[in-house]
Structure 1
Amino acid sequence: MTAAATSRPSAGLLLPRDRAVERIVRCVVGLVVFGVGITLLIRSDLGAAPWDVFHTGVGRLTGISTGWIIIATGIALLLLWIPLRERPGLGTILNAVVIGIVVDITSPLLADTDRLVLRVPMMLGGVVLVAIGSGSYIGAGLGPGPRDGLMTGLARVGIAGRRISIRAARTGVEITVLVVGVALGGAIGIGTAVFALGIGPLVQVFLPRLRVDPETATGASTAGTTPDGPLPGRGR
């Protein structure tokens, strides 16, 4: 199956057919590492990733934990996949659930601190862990995350009858959720800028090293990619 084929309308769930156990383990481990990275970014209180600015903003407004907001947002985005005719993979479902659970489990384990000497390494470590988790999750090839699927779907279907690039779709969506998150009091700061500038290059470093060999993996092995290559940025 080619990368382009994964964007064609189709019913059902993409499931692994080759090296299935290895790929599922890689996917879950990657999502756990990703979730820990998100927790470090948020708990550093130096600014979260754009989507997590939105998640923390909604959490502050509703009083619901950030993890549950992440899960609820993922499920809502999957519903938007229906008119976009995107096809989820097993990794898509795991992504919608595992990251939020990990964030809620790990957040209470980190004590609050005002010391920059601790908060800066937390923020930087969070960005690196998100990149490693993205490389492992995307490299498993079990389907794009709910947020990335929204962007590829918008790029394929277009807006108001006009086709747009994946880059434009991603930029537009992330700017929108960032602005809404800031308006809701989400966790924005220097960490948001560091993440935005650093996550793409870091994922490009880790992804080739963590990807399942495409020559031996079949089925949904390219579900984490687009016709233009790996989904840009993080694997959500």
Structure 2
Amino acid sequence: MLEPFARDALPRRLLQLYLGLLLYGFSMALMIKSGLGLDPWDVLHEGVADRTPLSFGTVVILTGVLVLLAWIPLRQRLGLGTVSNVIVIGVAADVSLWVLPAPALMALRIAFMVFGVALNAVATAAYIGARFGPGPRDGLMTGLVRRTGRSVRLVRTSIEVTVLATGWLLGGTVGVGTVLYAVGIGPLVHILLPRLTVSEPTKPAENVRVTAGPA
């Protein structure tokens, strides 16, 4: 029998997970089409895609698989959200890139960039808040934090600087959008995540022993 959490919240959690992943892929495409800069991982993805016959979304998927392999020595546990993240985001990004136009006007490019960053924050909070496990890149960060004892800030910064520099050397787009993402994504997710996190059930009142004083 399913636990109350799974039984009562599963439909919402699944909908939130996959809608979040689809919107994440769409937000990536918006930032790419703006041409004003990408987040560090997407700078890497774009750089690899530009130098290979692979589509952007295919590179996202393959990179996710490679990152998951790095989970093995870190002893990270996969979740439905982890596996879905690898596949759905890449497919959604490719479909969105095929559908979206490339805006010529600077005002539209800026709008694509700003909306892309904001939508990425909503999508991130949605799929994390569904509580089906972290994405491969987030799991890599948390696994390294646990295994090395270093701070989240140090580990995340080290990873993102490495992938950003590598992607830039490969020709990925670095620009004002990269800076906006770096400055804005943390505070936005911080605000949105509590509102989109599915809560665990509380214990029934009759199962909790309450005492008026020392026993």
- Which of 137, 143, 168 is matched with 2:133 structurally? 143
Is 1:132 the counterpart of 2:102? The answer is no
Matched with 2:80 is: 90
The residue type equivalent to 2:63 in the other structure is T
CA-CA distance at 1:192 after TM superposition: 0.3
CA-CA distance at 1:97 after TM superposition: 0.7
Matched with 1:199 is: 185
Is 1:103 the counterpart of 2:89? The answer is no
Taking only aligned residues, the RMSD between alpha carbons, in angstroms, comes to 1.4
Report SS of the residue matched to 1:127.
helix
The residue type equivalent to 2:107 in the other structure is V
The residue type equivalent to 2:93 in the other structure is V
Is 1:166 the counterpart of 2:152? The answer is yes
Q: Distance in 2 between matches of 1:128 and 1:113?
A: 18
- Which of 54, 59, 62 is matched with 1:64 structurally? 54
The residue type equivalent to 1:73 in the other structure is T
Give runs of aligned pairs for residues 151-190 of structure 1, distance below 5 A: 151-158=141-148, 163-190=149-176
> Which structure's residues are more often helix, by fraction?
2
Is 1:25 the counterpart of 2:15? The answer is yes
Matched with 1:232 is: none
The residue type equivalent to 1:86 in the other structure is Q
Identity %: 46
The residue type equivalent to 2:120 in the other structure is V
Is 1:78 the counterpart of 2:99? The answer is no
Q: Distance in 2 between matches of 1:31 and 1:129?
A: 11
CA-CA distance at 1:216 after TM superposition: 5.4
Unmatched 5+ residue regions in structure 1? 1-15, 218-236
Matched with 2:35 is: 45
Q: Distance in 1 between matches of 2:96 and 2:170?
A: 23
Q: Distance in 2 between matches of 1:68 and 1:216?
A: 41
Matched with 2:195 is: 209
The residue type equivalent to 1:85 in the other structure is R
Q: TM-score scaled by structure 2?
A: 0.89
Report SS of the residue matched to 2:51.
helix
Kindly name which structure, 1 or 2, has the bigger radius of gyration based on alpha carbons. Answer: 2
Structure 1 residue ranges, 4+ long, deviating more than 4 angstroms after superposition: none
CA-CA distance at 1:214 after TM superposition: 2.9
The residue type equivalent to 1:190 in the other structure is V
Q: Distance in 2 between matches of 1:185 and 1:50?
A: 12
Matched with 1:120 is: 110
Q: Distance in 1 between matches of 2:69 and 2:117?
A: 28
The residue type equivalent to 2:74 in the other structure is L
The residue type equivalent to 1:164 in the other structure is R
Q: TM-score scaled by structure 1?
A: 0.81
CA-CA distance at 1:63 after TM superposition: 2.5
Number of residue-to-residue matches in the alignment: 198
